[in-house]
Chains A and B, each alone.
Chain A
Amino acid sequence: MLSYVLAGLGLGSIYAIAAGSLVITYVASGIFNLAFAAMAYAVARFYYFLLVEEDWAIVPAAVVSLFVFAPALGMFLYAVLFRHLRLRSTLVKLMATVGLSVALPPLVNLWLEQPTDPTAPGLAPRPLATFQVFGSTINADQLTTYIGLVVVLLVGVGLLRFTNVGLKVRALVDSEALTSLSGTSPGRVSLGVWAASATLAGLAGILIAPTAGLSVGSMTFLMSAAFAAVVAAKLRSLPLAVGVALVMGVATNVVQKYIDPSSDFGAAVVPSIPFAFMLLFLLFYALRGQAGDLVAGGALDRAIATQGGDPTVVSAVTGGSNRRVLNPAVIAGVVIVGIVAFLPGQLDRFWSGLLAGGIAIAIALLSYTLVTGEGGMVWLSQITFAGGGAVLAAELVRNQGWDPLVAVLVGAVFIVPVGVVLGLLTIRLGNLYIALVTLTFGSLIQVLVFGRDPFYNFGSGQAMPRPEFTTTNDDFAYLALIVFCVLAVLIVNVRRSTAGLAMSAVRFSENGAKTLGISVVQTKVLVSGLATYTAAVGGGFIAMNAGSTLPDSFNPAVGLIWLAVLVTMGSRSIIAALIAGIMFVVMPQVFSTYVDSDYADVPVILFGLGALGLALHPEGVVAQTGNNIMRLFGRRKPAPVTQVPPGTPGASGPSAGTSDPALLTPAARGEAATITAGGQA
């Protein structure tokens, strides 16, 4: 038993270092760093390069990796990315860190190449020494992990509690604005926090590499387990995060004493333990109403914050009316759909198959357009609903003999209750918690359902034929495009309807919507249901295109990239969904066909960098390009000035009061007045 506990403490120590670092960076910067594993991999890979490939000794390799390379990486990332994110919305923050997690590992591999041997040495000398502790054996790697945690805790707590540097970090947590008014530069403090965070990520990566292997996948899985401890700590209690991380590590190992991890049941239960922890804590906090969004900074910070960079809000402000028939957005949409419709006949079988696959993913992406773009909820489990739609449709075809298209369209209805229940369960949670709980839900379903037989079937899943009338890739592409257009028109109409207006109201302000008598629950259930249906239909089409359900293609990690590509294009734009879906499938193939295979990862890097661009342009590429084009045309004729009646609420300029004609107001001086959406004058 003791040996299980000691081994568990080793794992728990790594969780604790990761969780502690995530908590500190979150409270100091307001950013939940989903790229923590990617940063850990980057530093661990650099350490491996120095230690194994360059033959350095352990101490200099560790010192240079952890105290030169890691802080430099953290400071660089702060300068180019994180400093732009502080006042952005949860969605943009999450997607930018997803972009980083997607782009960073391939960039490191382009520089240092993929490690030939994934079994990497840690900080202990090889061959590993072993020690006897109360009759149980621990090895030197485990010992360095314990020491690592103790050192991190002593130095971290000492720095935070007893030094001026720590005082400034804690002041920054309270209020960035007040910190700057005190003569302390928040930028410099944040720079230090991110440098320290990268060092801790690197330490966790180096310590975990000997057991989990030096690969992005294994690190991502273990680090996402650390998220559970962070959630348990309500994102801000360092001692609780460390304590829960240690308990979780011990529980994961002790369970293996009673359940054989190589058995079917054990293989499902053991990896689920951290996620079960997370769900339990989330439910506990949700029931007590303690899982709202953490408000960054103090009252002064909120007072001086302008537009939060939420793409769902930005688009609404800049998008203008969508009721005109000759709306530029409608024209652009028709043109893009026309181009896509023109393509199948012009491409060979291979490329039109890819195009059909892209359109199928675009259907699934429409669900994000609904739930995130319209509903303003950051759901990371849409890909799981897509997988559910695919699996259920395949079951209906195989066992009930249904027609594939009917199975997809009707089967999706049965997935809707799952989405609605998830929507109801998460209704009281803040956006970051919703993101984490949906990601956890996706991971659990992946492990417990998609990853198990009969659904997994050695990775190929179940057969899923196409409808008889669409056996060629061209025909299937047309069918997918028709379904995409039907769902797109449905979404546009929902957006224009009273229900759509209610959704907008809820998105802008839940409390405000409640005061108007709008039922937030009803609105969110409607959005969840529609989005789940759309995702499930998309999943069915993805499976029909591939001829099989391919369960691994519905991994939540892939879903993060889907969403990152979509948000990069624009989370509220239907055309952005179409472009994002096609690019996601076609771009990697273009690179591997026409560019050197060494650069096969470049599209992934580009997707990642695209998501990073959100920090500067949260409205997405499509809206940004549209605005640029409109501005180009706008130069030819001056934009009409909206006349605002005196005293109009929301008018940005002051207006002449009737009782005070002598006042020289900006309107009187000939300055343009514009109407803002909910802006505060």
Chain B
Amino acid sequence: MTTSESVSVGSTSLLRVEGLAVRYGAAQSLFDVTIDIPVNGTLAVLGSNGAGKSTLARAVSGLVPSCGGRIVFDGKDITKWSPTRIRRAGLIHMPEGRGVFPGLTVLENLRMALTTEKGSKEECLERAFTLFPVLGQRRRQLAGTLSGGEQQMLSLARALMVSPKLVIADEMSLGLAPKLVDVVFESIGRMRDAGVAVLMIEQFASRALGFADQAIILQRGSVTWAGRADEAGEELLHAYLGGATAA
């Protein structure tokens, strides 16, 4: 499978990225990346540090501009769209690190996530507090003072309480205790079961492959392997990611 070959061209493609290139100033960090995620599909993006995984996520959600290629989401070309417009179109990006507003309370963080929702906001909040009861107990607490795991729950709740079409989960398990990693995968699995497409960026390669239908491996900004997740054997992961990350 070559670099530019698409992962999967389903009849109902939700997100299609074609020949994407991204620069940070003078440094180019993505080269000719092509991916395809069908409705209800899950794609794991693997790669070592600096491979361009987060850049791919940021380019798709409009945070960084692309300098080549095309991004089509839900039948619309969103290549030049602002992150705000992309979010409103139904794509949620949970960024790497703690994707919460540290200076706002838990409740205010959740309210910010609901600014684009047209339905009952109270119901959405209730859903978030039911999924993660600890957030209900700490609703008046500043998000910046929560523990790492609680902040990640808040980040997940911001996506779970609304109904997106596609979620990008960027290194959500990073720095979390194993038990909390289970919570993260369980939560994202819940989204998948509800019909939400997922683009998962992970360093726990084997867990991500167990979760996703399709996978790509990024290396130095280019797609070096792409295919079905269950076809990515240990040997391949070792070749591209090294022993540590493939574990």
Chain B residues with CB under 8 Å of A317's CB are 26
Q: Report chain A residues within 8 Å CB of B103.
A: 170, 173-174
Query: A185 at the A/B interface (Cβ < 8 Å)?
Result: yes
Question: Which of chain A's residues have a CB closer than 8 A to the CB of B93?
Answer: 181
Pairwise interchain contact A181-B87, C-beta atoms closer than 8 A: yes
Tell me how far the C-beta of B154 lies from the nearest C-beta in chain A, rounded to whole angstroms: 12
Q: Are A653 and B112 in contact (CB under 8 A)?
A: no
CA distance A652 to B50 in the complex (A): 12
Contact of A174 among B95, B96, B101 (CB under 8 A): B101
Q: Is A666's CB within 8 Å of the partner chain B?
A: yes
Which of A182, A674, A681 touches B115 (beta carbons < 8 Å)? A182
List the A side residues contacting B87 at CB < 8 Å.
Answer: 180-183
Distance from B246 Cβ to chain A, minimum over Cβ atoms (Å): 16
B119 an interface residue at 8 Å Cβ cutoff? Answer: no
> C-beta contact mask, B1-23 vs A, less than 8 Å → 1, else 0?
01100000000000000000001
Chain A neighbourhood of B112, CB < 8 A: 167-168, 171, 179, 182, 184
Q: Which residue of B lies closest to A674 (CB)?
A: B26
B25: contacting residue among A170, A178, A306, CB under 8 A:
A306
Minimum Cβ distance to chain A for residue B61 (Å)? 6
Looking across the interface, which residue of chain B has its beta carbon closest to that of A185?
B84
Q: A654-B221, A654-B222 are in contact. Are A184 and B115 (CB under 8 A)?
A: yes
Say if the beta carbon of A516 comes within 8 Å of chain B: no
Docked pose: A300 CA to B54 CA in angstroms: 11
Least Cβ–Cβ distance between B243 and chain A, in angstroms: 15
Given known contacts A167-B104, A173-B103, A304-B64, is B221 in contact with A183 (CB within 8 Å)? no
Chain A residue at smallest Cβ distance from B54: A303
Q: Is B244 an interface residue (CB 8 A)?
A: no
Q: Is the CB of B95 within 8 A of A679?
A: no
Q: Knowing A167-B112, A664-B222 are in contact, say whether A177-B95 is a contact too (CB < 8 A).
A: yes
**A175 near B27 (CB under 8 angstroms)?**
no
| Binary interface encoding of chain A residues 470-510 relative to chain B, with 1 for a CB under 8 A from any of its CBs, else 0 | 00000000000000000000000000000000000000000
B103-147: which have CB < 8 Å to A? 103-104, 108, 111-113, 115-116
Contact B104–A184 (Cβ < 8 Å) = no
Q: What chain B residues lie within 8 Å of A300 (beta carbons)?
A: 63, 95-97, 99
The size of the chain B interface, using a CB distance under 8 A, is: 47
Residue interface mask B75-103, A partner, CB < 8 A = 1: 00000001110011000110111111111
The answer to whether A681 and B50 have CB atoms under 8 Å apart is: yes
Q: Is A299 an interface residue (CB 8 A)?
A: yes
Q: Is the CB of A178 within 8 A of B115?
A: no
Question: Which one, B27, B63, B96, B104, contacts A180 given CB within 8 A?
Answer: B63
Take A180-B83, A298-B102, A300-B97 as given contacts and tell me if A679 and B108 are in contact as well, using a CB distance cutoff of 8 Å: no
Give the chain B neighbours of A332 by CB distance below 8 A: none
Is A663 an interface position by the 8 A CB rule?
yes
- Counting CB contacts under 8 A, is A346 at the interface? no
Give the shortest distance, in Å, between A82 (CB) and chain B (any CB): 18
Q: Does A399 contact B (CB under 8 A)?
A: no
| B58 lies within 8 A of chain A by Cβ | yes
Q: Mark out the residues of chain B between 203 and 221 whose CB falls within 8 Å of any chain A CB in the assembled complex.
A: 219-221
Alpha-carbon distance between A182 and B95 when the two chains are bound, in angstroms: 11
Q: Which of B3, B27, B82, B158 contacts A185 (CB 8 A)?
A: B82
Please tell me if A137 contacts chain B, counting CB pairs below 8 Å.
no
A-side contacts of B222, CB under 8 Å: 654, 663-666
Within the complex, the shortest CB–CB distance from B26 to chain A, in Å, comes to 4
Interface assignment of A307: CB less than 8 Å from any CB of chain B:
yes
Tell me whether A511 is interfacial, beta carbon within 8 Å. Answer: no
Contacts of A681 in B (CB 8 A): 27-29, 50, 220-221
Residues of A near B221 (CB, < 8 A) are 653-654, 666, 681
Which of B191-246 touch A at CB < 8 Å? 219-222, 224
Interface: B31 (CB within 8 A) = yes
Residues of A within 8 A of B92 (CB): 181
CB distance from A525 to the nearest CB of B (A): 32
Q: Per-residue 0/1 for A447-466: is the Cβ within 8 Å of any B Cβ (1 yes, 0 no)?
A: 00000000000000000000
Q: Do A181 and B61 form a contact, CB below 8 Å, given A171-B112, A664-B222?
A: yes
Query: Quick one: CB contact mask for A638-654 with B, threshold 8 Å, 1 for yes?
Result: 00000000000000111
Q: What separation, in Å, do the CA atoms of A680 and B64 have in the docked complex?
A: 15
Q: Choose among B83, B88, B108 the residue with the greatest number of A CB atoms under 10 Å from its CB.
A: B83
Q: Which residues of B contact A184 (CB under 8 A)?
A: 84, 112, 115-116
Given contacts A174-B104, A184-B84, contact A663 B31 (CB under 8 A): no
Q: Are B115 and A679 in contact (CB under 8 A)?
A: no
A327 at the interface (CB under 8 A from B): no
Q: Which residues of B contact A304 (CB under 8 A)?
A: 58, 63-64
Smallest distance from the beta carbon of B57 to chain A beta carbons, Å? 11
> Do A181 and B83 contact each other (CB < 8 Å), given the known contacts A164-B115, A681-B29?
yes
A322 at the interface (CB under 8 A from B): no
A676 B84 Cβ-Cβ under 8 A? no
CB B74 to nearest CB in A, in angstroms, measures 16
* In the complex, chain B residues whose CB is within 8 Å of the CB of A674: 26
Given A171-B101, A183-B84 in contact, is the A680-B28 Cβ separation under 8 Å?
Answer: no
B30 → chain A, closest Cβ, in Å?
Answer: 10
Which of B25, B29, B104 has the most chain A CB atoms inside 10 A of its CB?
Answer: B25
Kindly list chain A residues whose C-beta atoms are within 8 Å of the C-beta of B220: 654-655, 665, 681
Give the CA-CA distance A173 to B103 in the complex, in Å: 8
Q: How far, in Å, is B93 (CB) from chain A's closest CB?
A: 5
16 contacts between A and B (CB under 8 A): A168-B115, A171-B104, A173-B103, A180-B82, A184-B115, A298-B102, A306-B24, A652-B26, A653-B28, A654-B220, A654-B221, A666-B221, A666-B222, A679-B25, A681-B29, A681-B221
Given A306-B25, A663-B219, 4 other A-B residues pairs in contact with their CB atoms under 8 A? A179-B101, A180-B84, A183-B87, A307-B26
The 8 closest A-B pairs by CB, nearest first: A654-B220, A183-B116, A679-B27, A180-B83, A306-B25, A183-B87, A174-B101, A652-B27
